[in-house]
Amino acid sequence: MSERTEHVDSVATYTIVWVSLLIATAVTSAVAFIDLGPFSVVVALAIAVLKMLLVALFFMHVRHSTKLTRLVVMGGLMWLGILITLSMADFITRGWIGVPGK
């Protein structure tokens, strides 16, 4: 029989993660009203990625999950990266070169 037992995290761990998420929300809201130029997107997305990692690793138990599950999660994010990167490579560069006759 399998020896693997269910990993039970402490309430303290979840509480720390929850408070961190609320702090990150306050920070991202406050930073939004400072003019950072193009970096406001970078900062907002960096904080969003941090919050996603906290939710996924702790609340969704990815840090205790099987290797196969982790592989599927990473694979999904990779496909999302392909969707956005390749599509934006098209949309952003359309105006770069003049098209004869257009």
Chain positions contacting other proteins, by CB under 8 A:
1-2, 4, 6, 8-9, 11, 14-15, 18, 21-22, 25-26, 28-29, 32-36, 40-41, 44-45, 47-48, 51-52, 55-56, 58-61, 65-66, 68-69, 72-73, 75-77, 79-80, 83-84, 87-88, 91-92
Q: How far is the CB of 1 from other proteins (least distance, A)?
A: 6
Rounded Cα distance, 99 and 88, in Å: 19
> Cα torsion at 49, 50, 53, 57 (round to 10°)?
180
83-91: long-range contacts at Cβ-Cβ below 8 A with a sequence spacing of 24 or more? none
Q: How far is the CB of 101 from other proteins (least distance, A)?
A: 22
